[in-house]
Chain A
Amino acid sequence: MDILVCVKRVPDTAENEISVNGSGTDIERDDLVYSVNEWDNYAVEEAIQIRDKVGGSVTVISVGDSESEEVLRREMAMGADKGILISDGAFEGSDGKGLAVILKTAIEKDKYDLIFTGAQADDGAGQVGGMLAAMLDLPYASLVNFIEVSDDKKIKIGREIAGGQQEIDEIDLPCVLSIQTGINEPRYVGIRGIRKVASVEIPVLGASDLGIDQGLVGSAAAKVSRVDYFMPALGKGAEILEGSIEEKADKLIELLKSKGGIK
């Protein structure tokens, strides 16, 4: 089974306080470190596990600047067979749809049985997978937290839906799936692993290599664009409720109701 996983380099925000820069045009990036989007990492692990079970290959692809090569290497160190970096100044400012067009063009150059994306990214909204599937006219399922490869025509998947329930579907191949965290336990990749694949060549493809219609990508084609960043109004510590214990309870109930805390 030949599997393609779309991965993205994102700021590592676990313990970092994200703040907005002075002009509000971007977040403060000076002190940020970057890594592969967490969801994508689960997707790559899943792809590797499927390949190890039924054979085939795993390719990781990323649209980004030259620094995205680092995340491709990390995923290759995990066990992906091949990496492709798509990079071109013309792609800058693309919206989700633009990204989907770029990926679609690249994907059409090869044949894949399974295409994975992460279910979402910290700085996105889980949109590319669904659009990509529609553009390729392939079936799509989001939030996949279970995959069972039954044969080379179809697979069984589980989707994470509300309240801890799981929706089980059967889906024909090829298909596009967005992978949810928790589907597996991604393996660890250390510095050593990355150095081992340091010399593997990662092809870099630009707009002309892909033969992409430049009218469909980049900021000019983007229908959705970010204007600015701002900090959401943050409380300076808790608002301490005053009054008798009963008054406090009453006030709290009103607040909880308005915040969806009472169902």
Chain B
Amino acid sequence: MNFPILSSLILLPTVGALFLFFTKDKEGNNSTAKYVALFTTIVNFLISIYLWIYFDQSTSSFQFVEDRTWIEGFINYKVGVDGISILFIILTTFITPLCIISVNNSIKNRLRDFLIAILIMESFMIGVFCALDLVVFYLFFEAGLIPMFLIIGIWGGPKRVYSAFKFFLYTLLGSVLMLVAIISIYWITGTTDVVQLYELGIDAKYQNLLWLAFFSSFAVKTPMWPVHTWLPDAHVEAPTAGSVLLAAILLKMAGYGFIRFSLGLFPVASEVFTPLIYTLSVIAIIFTSFIALMQEDMKKLIAYSSVAHMGFVTLGIFTLQQQGIEGSIIQMISHGLVSAALFLCVGVVYDRMHSRMINSYGGIVTIIPKYSILFMLFTLAALGLPGTSGFIGEFLILMGAFKDNFLVAVIASLGVILGAAYMLWLYKRVVFGKLNNEDLKKMFDLNRSEYLILSCLAVPTLFFGFYPDPLINTIEVSVTDLINMHNTNIASK
């Protein structure tokens, strides 16, 4: 196919942003800008669905590939998708319109600028998942910092400056080492094209250092313990739509990076460092679950739960088992949906009460029943109840882990119990119990747009919980191939 469908996916939001840029910024009612942004992102979503329909699930090679000379004799602009990346692209294009619908209540000033930032962010995020050249990947990966920094800094809460700086500098510090590694790969092999690198392989003696450099970037972004501290701050201060993007998509860039680059490019080093990843993942699962139990702030609690869930993801990836990696991908997709929904749920009550503290709520089930039902659904999905997408992911990851390392799997399973504990306790304290705060009675139930967003997220959460086949079929061949490639590489070294 000749039509550059992936480039149009990447560019379309930017075009929408440009369009918004040239419209007049009106204070107050600015629905035109919102409709333009919404229209752009929905068209983008439809394109990505079209992509999924025409995606050939029977091959693991990259599809819809575009390859253009970018810097003569050095870098090609190369994009393409395989079974692993296509789901993340769809997740991105699915979440972004929901974010845009959600800005109705939370963003009061400079709505147009906010929408521009979100649209540009979408371009960069899609770019990250499409890129098949290390330099192109790095470009998109880093460029995403700019809009996110502004989203947190301009529209965030009271400690926004501190959080925005922490987010930016942490991530940048991790990433510069990756840049050194990327240039070194070019110096060692003479190319930065991922497909060629898969075929060429990288000399085993360089792999450990290169792996560590990539790890430093992905570990910060995932985030793994002990470099996770930027995440709670960023989540708490970011506006709801920002938190949603951050939790649902930005964190997935790192998981995706681990699968695509750490496993694919450095098989030997991945084996060497598996114990390190296991240790950090298990610490993340157990330790941050305990921290989550102690939180007073709902957003912070969900942020820590994200760290724990991403711990499962990294654990699953490095089991190097079919189930483990598939589970990780499904867990990432599911976490994308569920954490987005949970942040939106917090956003709903925050917009009404202007408090995120758990103890200022309680007994709201009788006042806003619709909200309580949906919140319940996502709480259960977050703790991995069978019948929700969260279960499939965690189950497959643990299955993979049991095959690889019994002890690690047992400890990680404890994390599932802790997850249930903090999520259910959160739900109990917020929704059930006595109605102590009189102000809560003034709360009104979900309005139309909130209802729409949360239902949109609830449908796939349940659907993939009962019927994960569409997801598994899409990723299966690519994951099998990745593992085969990994095993042959290990065997030959």
Determine if chain A interacts with chain B. Answer: no
